[in-house]
Structure 1
């Protein structure tokens, strides 16, 4: 029985111009083979800035049109897209990751652990959902985490216990170059300690401080790029490599989490 799915991560210079971001996204997904899961950075549609007042300038009509265009593209090209965007719902802004499927499926993950700069501007999500995605007849359990949530391993472990096989990690980590080794190490740790695949995409920026990466459940890096330029990497994910052997040996008689 086939347990392998195709995956890709893509980075580009995320701007505050929705039309420019959409052009980048379309040029990327037009090169991807059908039935591939593609992960892109945090804020890839709407744009993103550590100065959250940028939300006041977001053209919500143009944003909705771009989201609908990507939903159509996923269906026409038979792709599984996980794309970051700020979204507005009932007057509240969320920092979100959007899933677009080949049958017009549409799922939303709302970031639950906001960065300090986001607080007071975004409303945090309150769920850690597991999304069931069918890729070439293979059912994949997908979990999503975003940016600083790399610092909270309990969220990743919770999702792994819930059955996640593949994590999409949408990132917009730019700034202090001293952070890069820490965040890279965090990503490898999250993969190895949960024994899950991670598809991590960061903003392509001269001050990018975490690579765009694909990591295997063993912690082996399958693809990596640290660059200010548009780039994409791909890998075949053998889901039979996903395991609970580490999780099952946790000493729950000594310490356990209540979710």
Structure 2
């Protein structure tokens, strides 16, 4: 979409170059003219998206109060516009903050360490919350429901055994005697190395799945943290946003089996 493409190009060409991918930045050199032009562009986009969101919300309120509930076809475009508006506001805030208040890279070592520990604490809280069934049970339960969690565990174990050459990769045993059933469910190709590494280190099938869940929960936290830093969100707010975003991407892990 033009809106996202414009913001993406603006980020790639004008955002600060990361000095550290998660915790810090260094500022690019920009002329005053470029700064003013860029700021005007993003401010105009800010108010345009804000106005559009206001119109959409007014339409939804009118549909609910005077003409009955809005149809699903009316709600879906509204959600798209609202999502675009939220992203637009974040990017506008981040770009203007980059111009007017760049990250101070000359912090002393104590301040830098305190900020990193603060952010890591939020990630740790999100990780424990997402995988609470593992910690509360003393590493005897797995995350998610008993059916879905154990199915994912078996699929990961099948992938590990297939890497060892024991079984054909395309035919998980859970669907025996039908063959070629890998696409029937999640294959977990992207995260299989985490599980395979745990199994290679000697963990059991059950414990390796628990390790897999904990590592993925922590990875979600660091991914959200990286996004907040790219958008130039203040570090004080980045921690809580990281917690909310991480638990939102993996809420299925919370249920004890």
Considering fraction of residues, name the structure with more helix: 2
Normalized against structure 1, the TM-score is what? 0.25
Q: Larger C-alpha radius of gyration, 1 or 2?
A: 2
Considering fraction of residues, name the structure with more strand: 1
Q: Which has the higher contact order (CA 8 A, sep 6+)?
A: 2
